Amino acid sequence: MKTNRLIVLMMLAGLAVASEPAKQAVPAHRGKQIFDQWCGICHAASPRMPGTASLAAKYGGSLPAALEERTDMPPAFIEHFVRKGVLIMPAFRKTEITDADLELLVDYLKAKDQ
């Protein structure tokens, strides 16, 4: 009986170890996909996008209006506006953009800083 339990525990441990790399193997472009799905509709580089046009007017050329071109947004800044929204930008719930997806989105937007 103890041998069977030991075998089952070893199999479960093996499965846990084998599945761990799959969790970490997130495509590098996943952050871009999240941006395109949730943010790009308003914040893509095209000046016709409402969020980009609004930021262009707000910054008057002192900062890039397209979020993908910005290098001045700390992770907490991005997370705050995604979760809280601002003016006409809605807040995004965790059922829309999960915490894991938000982290990938932040990583994507921050990758240009390095």
pLDDT tens digits for 37-57?
A: 999 999 998 878 999 999 999
pLDDT tens digits for 84-109?
A: 999 889 999 999 999 999 999 999 99
Does residue 13 lie in a domain region?
no
Tell me the whole-structure pTM to 2 decimals: 0.71
Does residue 16 lie in a domain region?
no
For residue 89, list its beta bridge partners. Answer: 86
Q: Give the whole-angstrom CA distance, residue 17 versus residue 81.
A: 36
Q: Are 78 and 67 in contact (CB under 8 A)?
A: no
Does residue 41 lie in a domain region?
yes
Residue 33's CATH number: 1.10.760.10
Number of domains in the chain: 1
Give the structural domain span for 85. 27-113
Does residue 22 lie in a domain region?
no
Q: What is the mean pLDDT of the chain?
A: 81
Query: 12 vs 38, which has greater pLDDT?
Result: 38
